[in-house]
Chains A and B, each alone.
Chain A
Amino acid sequence: MTRNEFKKRCESGFLILDGATGTELIKRGMPGGVCPELWVSEHPEVICDIHNSYIRSGSNIVYAPTFGGNRCKLAEFGLHSELAGIVSTLARISKKNAGSRAMVFGDIAPTGRFVEPFGDLPFEEAVAIFRETAQALADGGVDGFAIETMMDLQEARAALIGVREAAPDLPVIVTMTFDSSRRTLTGNSPQSALVALQALGADAFGCNCSTGPEEMAQIIAEMRPYARVPLVAKPNAGLPRLVDGKTVFSMDDRTFAGCAQALISAGAVLLGGCCGTTPEHIAALARQVKLCSPPAEIPICSSVISSASGIWQFGSKFTVIGERINPTGKKAFQAQLREGKLDMVMDFAIQQNSAGAQVLDVNMGLAGIDEAGMMRRAVAMLAKSSPLPLCIDSTDPEAVEAALRLYPGRALFNSISAEKNRLEKILPIAARYGAMLVALPLTDAGIPGSAAERMLVVDRIISAASDYGYTAGDICVDALIMAVASEPQAAKTALEVISACEMRGLHTVCGLSNVSFGLPDRALINRTFLGMAMGRGLTAAIANPLFPELMAMVLAGDALCERDANMSAYLAAVSVSAGAVPAAAEKISPAEALKLSVLRGETERIPERIDAVLSSGMTPQDILNELLIPAINEVGKRYEQKTFFLPQLISGAEAMSRAAACLEPLLASGNDSEQQKVKFILATVKGDIHDIGKNIVAVVLRNYGFEVIDLGKDVPPELILEAAEKHSACLIGLSALMTTTMGAMRETVELARSRGMEHLHFIVGGAVVDQQFADSIGAYYAADPMAAVNIARQFQQN
Chain B
Amino acid sequence: MDYPELNVPFPGKEIFLRLGGHLTKTQVDPAAACRFQRYALEAFRLCRPRGRWQIFPVTAVTDEAIILADGSSIPGGDFSRKNRDISFLWCGAVTVGKAVTETRDSLEMVSARAVYDAVAGECADGAMDMLQALAAGELLRRNLRLDKRRFSPGYGDMPLEVQKFFFSSLQLEKLDMVLNDKFFMIPEKSVTALAGVR
Contact = CB atoms under 8 A, between A and B. Distances in A.
A247 B143 contact: yes
B18 to A, nearest CB: 9
Contact of A603 (B34, B109, B114, B138): B109
Contact of B26 (A387, A645, A714, A738): A645
A179 B4 CA distance: 23
A186 B80 CA distance: 32
B102 interface: no
Contacts of A603: 109
Contact of A692 (B30, B45, B113): B113
A601 B111 contact: yes
Contacts of B137: 149, 151
Contacts of B9: 183, 186-187, 309
Interface in A619-650: 639, 641-650
Nearest to B182: A687
A420 to B, nearest CB: 42
Contact of A120 (B1, B5, B22, B34): B5
B20 interface: yes
Nearest to B104: A692
Most chain B CB within 10 A, of A23, A354, A602, is at A354
A654 B111 contact: yes
B44 to A, nearest CB: 7
A794 interface: no
Nearest to A240: B145
B25 A739 contact: no
A114 B7 contact: yes
A26 interface: yes
A247 B37 CA distance: 43
A33 B144 CA distance: 12
Given A646-B19, A768-B155, A354 B30 contact: yes
B41 interface: yes
B29 A580 contact: yes
A641 B25 contact: yes
A26 B114 CA distance: 51
Interface string A575-617: 0110010000000000000000000111100000000000000
A692 B61 CA distance: 38
A696 B10 contact: no
A472 interface: no
A119 B5 contact: yes
B136 to A, nearest CB: 10
B188 A689 contact: yes
Contacts of B60: none
Interface in B179-194: 182, 184, 188
A643 B138 contact: no
Contact of B110 (A186, A240, A699): A699
Interface string A182-193: 010111000000
Contacts of B198: 242, 245, 247
B182 A648 contact: no
B156 to A, nearest CB: 6
Contact of A346 (B41, B87, B143, B182): B41
B134 A185 contact: yes
A380 interface: no
A242 B148 CA distance: 13
A74 to B, nearest CB: 14
Given A186-B9, A646-B20, A650-B114, A350 B34 contact: yes
A692 B114 contact: yes
A351 interface: yes
Interface string B47-85: 000000000000000000000000000000000000001
A642 B114 contact: no
Contact of B20 (A242, A387, A642): A642
Interface in B128-184: 130, 133-134, 137-138, 140-143, 145, 153-157, 159-160, 182, 184
Nearest to B143: A26
B6 A114 contact: yes
A240 B39 CA distance: 41
B124 interface: no
Interface string B1-41: 10111110110000010011110011111111111111101
A385 B104 CA distance: 19
A114 B154 CA distance: 31
Contact of B19 (A33, A354, A577, A647): A647
Nearest to A347: B38
Contact of B21 (A22, A114, A645, A699): A645
Contacts, number: 158
B145 A247 contact: yes
Nearest to A183: B9
B182 to A, nearest CB: 6
A647 B182 contact: no
Contacts of B33: 354
B38 A350 contact: yes
B50 to A, nearest CB: 9
A247 to B, nearest CB: 5
A687 B161 CA distance: 12
B122 interface: no
B115 interface: yes
B154 A120 contact: no
Nearest to B11: A187
A319 B22 CA distance: 29
Contacts of A151: 134, 137
Contact of A695 (B10, B113, B160, B182): B113
Interface in B84-101: 85, 87
B110 A650 contact: yes
B7 A186 contact: yes
Contacts of A544: none
A387 B12 CA distance: 11
Contacts of A580: 29-31
A647 B25 contact: no
Nearest to A786: B20
B7 A245 contact: no
A645 B20 contact: yes
B149 to A, nearest CB: 13
Contacts of B117: 692
A643 B155 contact: no
A40 interface: no
A414 to B, nearest CB: 25
Given A112-B138, A690-B188, A692-B114, A739 B32 contact: no
Most chain A CB within 10 A, of B41, B133, B138, B153, is at B41
B26 A152 contact: no
A32 interface: yes
A648 B5 CA distance: 33
Given A247-B143, A600-B32, A385 B44 contact: yes
Most chain B CB within 10 A, of A647, A714, A740, is at A647
A185 B117 CA distance: 23
B19 A645 contact: yes
A643 B130 contact: no
Interface of B: 1, 3-7, 9-10, 16, 19-22, 25-39, 41, 44-45, 85, 87, 104, 109-111, 113-115, 117, 130, 133-134, 137-138, 140-143, 145, 153-157, 159-160, 182, 184, 188, 198
Q: Which 3 A-B pairs have the closest CB atoms?
A: A187-B9, A118-B7, A645-B21
Given A347-B38, A647-B111, 13 more contacts: A114-B3, A114-B7, A119-B7, A152-B7, A185-B130, A245-B87, A247-B145, A275-B140, A354-B30, A645-B19, A647-B114, A695-B110, A738-B154
20 contacts: A22-B143, A26-B143, A33-B142, A119-B5, A119-B7, A186-B130, A275-B140, A346-B45, A353-B37, A354-B37, A355-B30, A600-B31, A641-B25, A642-B26, A645-B28, A648-B28, A651-B109, A695-B113, A738-B154, A738-B155
Interface of A: 22-23, 26, 32-33, 112-114, 118-120, 149, 151-152, 179, 183, 185-187, 240, 242, 245, 247, 275, 309, 346-347, 350-351, 353-355, 385, 387, 576-577, 580, 600-603, 639, 641-651, 653-654, 687, 689-690, 692, 695-696, 699, 714, 738-741, 768, 784
